[in-house]
Structure 1
Amino acid sequence: MQKSDIIFSCVTYPRSAKENVIGNCGVAGREGDILDGKGYVEMTGIDPQTSKDICEIIKSKGGRYLEAQIQGSKIEADEGSLVILTAGDKSLFIDCQSCFKAMGKTAFFLGDTGYATKTNLILQLMKGIALVGLAEGLALADRCGISSKDVLNIFKLTNLNCDYLTNKADLIVKKDFKHVEQAIEHMQKDMKLTLDLSDQLKQPLLMTSTANEVYKHARRLGYDGHDASCIYMRT
């Protein structure tokens, strides 16, 4: 790490991301640690305040900070077609272009630290609610005695069709929830972070609150480690 010009961090939870910086083995965890122009890129899905806290620590040690949030699943990661949302130090964004091109199809710079994390949570909110609607629709079809395969085939011919929902619908129809594109605990983590942000801004998010309860219930039923589409089993 001492010989690295740019350090990338990508873990599961905000607490772990912060521990990578200020923990005993963190990049800035000891009093004498100096980053002296090194770049630190945080790719963990985190909340804006945690990102700002990490930014302040990195800058206090003489480093440059960039939050880089990932939009996409394991499929897009394998294909190198992720969408990367960044904010923070623009010079570091420019220096990371070759890395971002290897990871994704495009990278956006959105301004000051916090804007990329907020944008990512907004997009996760939309995906989370859409997935609940899809799962409940297919559950209702099943209760009506309508073949879920027929519904899916019709779905693919309508303007509802998109890669994200079609892939999730395929997993639901096949009941293949161990094929993990995004684990349910990660989706629910993002929903919770979004609700925390809405509390700070006093912005009502009624649908998000309800959807979050669906994810929590599925997790309580023991579906951690399964794809987020497993919420179908809860419906």
Structure 2
Amino acid sequence: MEVGFLGLGIMGKAMSMNLLKNGFKVTVWNRTLSKCNELVAHGASIGKTPAEVINKCTITIAMLSDPAAALSVVLDKDGVLEQICGGKGYIDMSTVDPETSCKINEAITSKGGRFFEAPVSGSKQPAETGQLVILAAGDKALYEAAIPAFDILGKKSFFLGQVGNGAKMKLVVNMIMGSMMNAFSEGLTLADRSGLNPHDLLDVLDLGAIANPMFKGKGPAMLQNNYSPAFPLKHQQKDKRLALALGDENSVPMPVAAASNEGLEESYLYTPYLKYASTRLLRRLEAWDWETWIFQQCLRP
């Protein structure tokens, strides 16, 4: 199977590399074309535009940063819509709001193409090891055609019905995750400030009722000041905002998620942190007494 892949960020690069390593022919595109080089070295072809990728491939996957990017790749000049037609399928695995996903679906199907959304649960390491959880919704026949690729990319795929349901599920998952990371960061900071060994806290959590892979995997790195990005803070905050909007739309009060979002927005004071992992919240908390000083450092050229 030859697959197109649009977007080679942290997730897209790892996912397309997995497809290549497992025998798929892959044609890639990225706004910054130099990001294609490593994949080309492993056998990928380059499409100069999204339209060129669509023209070449029967199925094309997109993994983009936000709703604006997802729409732009489809609707702009040299975009997906210029070449999509009957017999071709488009799969958007980006994390977007349901409305954006429905707009993309309408645009693709109006040209005779097939579409489903498939955002994922998991960040850099699961993407690299093919352990993502895939949340698909839309064209069932296209979903079934994509299962060989999904078997490489993820450990489990869910088909959730109509377009929009995958986006909703992903926003709910990321809303819960973001709130957990806020509480986890506060707990580690409180343990340290009150004279406890935060490493002991990690052990206690791992043996108790709230043990989970995220705390187990992220905690040691956080205590070592390792904030290399697997899920950048700016994307976590974007997802939290979209989840809160979904709550407003459905009249669901979410005070915990709203408070968590305030913590993420506070981190915007520390402009250089936006490229780091969402776990950088811990450093924000530890530096709280130095807020003015750090903000001044951020304003330096």
1:17 match: 70
1:4 match: 57
Pairing 1:196–2:245 present: yes
Corresponding letter in the other structure for 2:256: M
Pairing 1:186–2:235 present: yes
1:59 match: 109
Corresponding letter in the other structure for 2:79: G
Pairing 1:233–2:286 present: no
Report the Cα offset of residue 220 of structure 1: 2.2
Q: Which of 190, 215, 225 does residue 264 from structure 2 map onto?
A: 215
Query: Per the alignment, in what secondary structure is the counterpart of residue 96 of structure 2?
Result: coil
| Larger helix fraction of residues | 2
CA 1:34–1:187: 2 relative to 1, 3 Å: closer
The CA RMSD over aligned residues, in Å, is 1.2
Alpha-carbon distance in structure 1 between the residues aligned to 2:258 and 2:147? 37
TM-score (normalizing by structure 1): 0.95
After TM superposition, what 4+ stretches of structure 1 lie above 6 angstroms from structure 2? none
Report the Cα offset of residue 34 of structure 1: 4.9
Query: Per the alignment, in what secondary structure is the counterpart of residue 17 of structure 1?
Result: helix
Query: Per the alignment, in what secondary structure is the counterpart of residue 77 of structure 1?
Result: helix
Tell me if structure 2 keeps the 8 A contact 1:67–1:86: yes
TM-score (normalizing by structure 2): 0.75
Segments of 5+ residues of structure 1 without an aligned counterpart are none
Q: Which of 216, 220, 224 does residue 174 from structure 1 map onto?
A: 224
What's the CA shift string for 1:119-162, capped at 9, x where partnerless? 01001011011111111111111110111112122222222221
Tell me if structure 1 keeps the 8 A contact 2:84–2:108: no
Instruction: Write out aligned runs for 1:49-128 (5 A).
Output: 49-128=99-178
Pairing 1:47–2:97 present: yes
Alpha-carbon distance in structure 2 between the residues aligned to 1:160 and 1:208? 18
Query: Per the alignment, in what secondary structure is the counterpart of residue 83 of structure 1?
Result: strand
Query: Per the alignment, in what secondary structure is the counterpart of residue 119 of structure 2?
Result: strand
Tell me if structure 2 keeps the 8 A contact 1:73–1:182: yes
Alpha-carbon distance in structure 2 between the residues aligned to 1:229 and 1:103? 24
What's the CA shift string for 1:16-70, capped at 9, x where partnerless? 0001110012111x5xx55113101001110000000000000000000110011
Alpha-carbon distance in structure 2 between the residues aligned to 1:200 and 1:18? 21
Q: Which of 162, 180, 200 does residue 212 from structure 2 map onto?
A: 162
Tell me if structure 1 keeps the 8 A contact 2:230–2:277: yes
What's the CA shift string for 1:162-217, capped at 9, x where partnerless? 1111222112211211x222111111110011011112222111111110111111
CA 1:23–1:230: 2 relative to 1, 3 Å: same
Corresponding letter in the other structure for 2:68: R
Range moving further from structure 2, 123-132 or 1-10: 1-10
Q: Indicate the structure whose relative CO is greater, using CA pairs within 8 Å and at least 6 residues apart.
A: 1
Corresponding letter in the other structure for 1:182: F
Alpha-carbon distance in structure 2 between the residues aligned to 1:37 and 1:74? 32
Total equivalences in the alignment? 231
Report the Cα offset of residue 221 of structure 1: 1.2
